[in-house]
Structures are given as structure tokens and as C-alpha cells.
Amino acid sequence: MAMVKCKIKKGDKVRVVAGDDKGKEGVVVRVLPRERKVLIEGVNLVRKHIKPRAGQKKGRTVERALPLDISNVALIDPTSGKPTRVRVERKDGKRVRVAVKSGKSLD
């Protein structure tokens, strides 16, 4: 399978633009490029119930974040704080991500 390029990277601050968590912001914890999904800290949380086992004393409920589709998030512009699209440009032979709204470099 070919490598898929994503314009969103680990550590980027993003805003959810579609779905149940629309409007929430968070930092990207992990990018899954082959599946076109991102894992965002504190967004798209679900509760998982764990049964009691022989080695454990009690069952419990754990909250964890599930991945969101990459099309449902937008990168936050560093100058305005609003969601923006990302353009890729070549500067000095290097691939650089640029915010479309402000024109500022993101890398």
C-alpha cells in the first residue's frame, strides 16, 4: 500500500468542524494516515466497561478517545485562532505547510 500524505501532523492544534464534537478544540495525539484518521486529546470520548477478572478486584469504566476522520477537523491558524485550510509549498527545497488564511508557515 502506498504512503498517504497528510497535512495534519502530531502536535498540531485542531478544531472539529463536523460531527457530535463540532466546535471542540484539541491537540493531535496520533495520526493514522492509511485510515485517514486522527486521534485528538479530549475529543470523541467514549466509555469502555471492563469486566472484573480473576486478577482484578473490580470492574470499572474507562474513558478513551476514538479516532476522528481527518476530513472532520481543521488546523487552527496560529495568528487568528480560527480554522484554516493548509497549502503545501516548496521553500529552499523543503516541503513547508502554510496556513491559507494568513499565509504563515506552520512548520
Are 86 and 72 in the same domain?
no
Mind listing the pLDDT tens digit of every residue in the chain (107 residues)? 556 678 999 999 999 999 999 999 999 999 999 999 999 999 999 999 988 888 877 888 999 999 999 999 999 998 989 999 999 999 899 989 999 988 888 87
**Letter for the amino acid at 21?**
D
Residue 103 lies in a domain: yes
Count: domains in the chain: 2
Computed on alpha carbons and rounded to an integer, the radius of gyration of the chain in Å comes to 17
Burial of 29: CB neighbours in 10 Å, binned 0-12, 13-18, 19+: middle
pTM more than 0.85: no
Domain match, 52 and 90 both: no
For position 54, which CATH number holds?
2.30.30.30
Under 8 Å CB-to-CB from 2, ≥6 apart: which residues? none
> Domain range spanning residue 19?
13-76
